[in-house]
Amino acid sequence: MGGNSPCASCKLLRRRCAKDCIFAPYFPSDDPHKFAIVHKIFGASNVSKMLQELPVQQRVDAVSSLVYEANARVRDPVYGCVGAISYLQNQVSQLQMQLAMAQAEIVCIQMQPTQISLDQLVDDKSSILQNHYFNFASSSSSSRSANVNICDSLNRDNIFGYIIS
């Protein structure tokens, strides 16, 4: 940056910001906390060496990673971002297990025969009997064939889980 307004690193380190300051493009003066946390965890000298070893096009991503890791280290000094990753992996595993259980429950529900109410059962039974009664009355066939038709339709309903007595 150079000149009038020093970058966040030069401000924190209380030094003059040179034109070719390695930190200036990545740690602007309006966000001093960003460099302060990276400096606290990694040190200015180490961050400077890392940035100098990287190609210019990769430095923005490297600084972003350093800031993320530094924030994670402040929150969890022992595990850092590995602790956050582990937590998220456990959460994903738990959610996958819950999803599998929900899918299995859906399959079980779909496999069960449809339950109908007692009122529907009575209505269905009476309509079957009425239809066969009218068929029996208008039919020219013997009463035995009409009885067989009634029994056949009742047996068909029994196959689907209705208990008709």
For 3, which DSSP code? T
Sign of torsion over alpha carbons 61, 66, 67, 72? positive
Residue 49 confidence (pLDDT): 94
Burial of 157 (0-12, 13-18, 19+ CB in 10 A): middle
Higher pLDDT among residues 136 and 14, named by residue: 14
Cβ 47 vs Cβ 22: under 8 Å: no
d(CA 148, CA 144): 6
151 pLDDT tier (thresholds 50, 70, 90): very low
d(CA 42, CA 49): 11
Q: What is the mean pLDDT of the chain?
A: 78
pLDDT score of 4 more than 70: no
Where do runs of H (alpha helix) occur along the chain? 8-13, 32-42, 44-53, 56-75, 81-111, 118-138, 143-159
43: left (phi over 0), alpha (psi -120 to 50) or beta: left
pTM: 0.56
d(CA 21, CA 160): 82
pLDDT score of 48 more than 80: yes
For the chain, first and last CA: distance in Å?
A: 93
Tokens found for residue 110: 């779909």
Percent of all residues in the chain with a pLDDT value above 90, rounded to a whole number: 50
- Domain boundary assignment for the chain: 8-75, 79-112, 118-159
C-beta pairs of 148-152 under 8 Å, 24+ apart in sequence: none
